[in-house]
Structure 1
């Protein structure tokens, strides 16, 4: 499986992190009813613009399988859910809900 991690501004659609364009170490896991994302960023100045919009972010994970359609997971980030630890170079994002869908199976009629 190939996975793409994307952090976007919810309104403008601007991408702050897109692992399909630049490799960025990250992990994510479900913890109870939340999802915790940890992103290693060794250049804090790169994250400054993202932090300006931290109350308006969405996180996406695209999972591409060899013999199955791509699955997209869309995570909603809550208030006070984005933190950056300068000393560790780690961005932490907590999502409180998500939807999972297969674009090939989604249509508007």
Structure 2
């Protein structure tokens, strides 16, 4: 399975983090009632901008399989904390809920 993590500005659609094009490591783990997404990355202009718009983020995880359609997981950050820790060079996003779906199952 191949995964791609994308963090975007919900209103403008600007991409702040894209694991396929950015050099980074990430984890998505259950955290109490929600999920914790941690991204190991240098603090850049994109991360600074992400922090500026932290209340308007969309976080997606695309899971691509060889034998089945791609699954998309959309995490809702709502007002969950979004923080960058300089010492660890780590971005942490806490999401309160998520929706999993297969985009191929929706006719447009």
For residues 45 and 78 of structure 1, the distance between their equivalents in structure 2, rounded to whole angstroms, comes to 23
Gaps of 5+ in 2: none
**RMSD of aligned alpha carbons:** 1.4
Is 2:24 aligned against 1:28? no
Number of residues of Structure 1 aligned to a counterpart in Structure 2? 108
4+ aligned runs moved over 4 Å, structure 1:
none
TM-score, normalising length: structure 2:
0.92
Whichever structure has more strand as a proportion of its residues is 1
TM-score, normalising length: structure 1:
0.91
16-25 vs 52-61, which deviates more? Answer: 16-25
- TM-aligned CA distance change 1:22 to 1:44, over 3 Å: closer
Find the residue that maps to 2:78 and give its secondary structure. Answer: strand
For residues 45 and 8 of structure 1, the distance between their equivalents in structure 2, rounded to whole angstroms, comes to 14
For residues 31 and 62 of structure 2, the distance between their equivalents in structure 1, rounded to whole angstroms, comes to 20
Gaps of 5+ in 1: none
The 5 Å alignment of 1:1-109 reads 1-108=1-108
User: 1:75 touches 1:95 (CA, 8 Å); kept in 2?
Assistant: yes
